[in-house]
Each structure stands twice: as structure tokens, then as C-alpha cells.
Amino acid sequence: MAISASRGAAGGSRRRVTSTWPSSVSGMSADVPPQGMLAWAAPDPSSPGLATLGGHLPVMVTVTRGAWSRVITSNGWAGWVDGRTLVPFPSQATWAPTHVVPPKGTQARAAPDSAGAVVATRRGHLRVQVTEVRGAWAHVLCSNGWTGWVDDRLLLTRA
């Protein structure tokens, strides 16, 4: 995460938050709109702004209260934003499961390489969408926007 200071309308200092979202977090994924957006400590627009989130920043929505969404960034920073302006990942609108993780589950990696670090263990019977195949590796997409690489030979074709 990179943080840089910016000045609010009232002259107060706010942090600008930018980051890269890891593939190991679950929840509804979205992007901050291109122009960025203000975040608050509580779902109350009369409270002072907490930070300015950079445009296109990937966030995870953890709670929704009316128009407010509590978001978390890849480094664990959290705040409240106007959820109506968040941009859902396109993959969420078109997600359709094509395969199922085997009953014992499987390890997922950040890249299609057995020597690479394991980033998550996917539970058995989890429905996934295969978006790409490279050799024995399948790039899978889960309903919450999570992606990773798993051994394609272990996946079960969805009936």
C-alpha cells in the first residue's frame, strides 16, 4: 500500500490509499471509481473524511448499510464509502461455475507453477469457473471474485 497526504476541503489532512488486492480474500470485490472517492470512519457523511481512496483501487465489501459499504483494502485498511459508486468486477456479473473442487479440496497458487507459493486451500465441493488452462493448470474464478491456479487434473466437471 502507498499512502500520500492530501488536503481536504476544510484544510485537514487525509491519506490517499492505493494498493494491490491479493487473491486470497473472500467477499464481494469491487473497484473504486476512476476519479477516486472519500472514505469515512463511520457511515456518517457529517463526520470528517478518513482517507481518499485512489481510482481503480480494488476493495472488498464486507458490510452494506443502505447506500453505505464498509470496504477493506489488501493491507487490511478499512473504511466506509458510498457503495452506490463502487464498480463491481466484470467477472462477478458473468460468473458461471463450470467445475467443482474435489471432495478433499485442493491447493491454489498465484501462478501456474507447482514450485510457486500456495496462496489458499480451496474447500472440497466448491464450485468454480475455469477461465484459462495452461498445461495441467486451470485458472479458476470463484463467485466472490477470488482467482487462482489449481491442478486442472483434479477438478471435476460440473454436471
Tens digit of pLDDT at every position of the chain (159 positions): 233 323 334 444 444 433 333 333 335 778 888 899 999 999 988 888 889 998 888 888 888 888 898 888 877 788 999 988 888 765 455 678 899 999 999 999 988 999 988 888 999 999 998 888 889 999 888 877 788 889 999 999 875
Number of domains in the chain: 2
Same domain, 100 and 150: yes
Same domain, 80 and 108: no
Question: By three-state DSSP, how is residue 150 classified?
Answer: strand
The pTM assigned to this predicted structure is: 0.45
Phi-psi region of 110 (alpha: psi -120 to 50; beta: other; left: phi over 0): alpha
The pLDDT assigned to 74 comes to 74
Q: Which domain holds residue 15?
A: 2-88
Same domain, 15 and 80: yes
Same domain, 12 and 27: yes
The answer to whether the CB of 66 falls within 8 A of the CB of 80 is no
Same domain, 20 and 75: yes
The pLDDT assigned to 156 comes to 93
Q: For the chain, give the number of residues.
A: 159
Question: By three-state DSSP, how is residue 29 classified?
Answer: strand
User: What residues have CB less than 8 Å from 65, skipping those under 6 apart?
Assistant: 43
The answer to whether the CB of 81 falls within 8 A of the CB of 69 is yes
CATH number at residue 15: 2.30.30.40
How far apart, in Å, do the first and last CA atoms of the chain sit?
Answer: 42
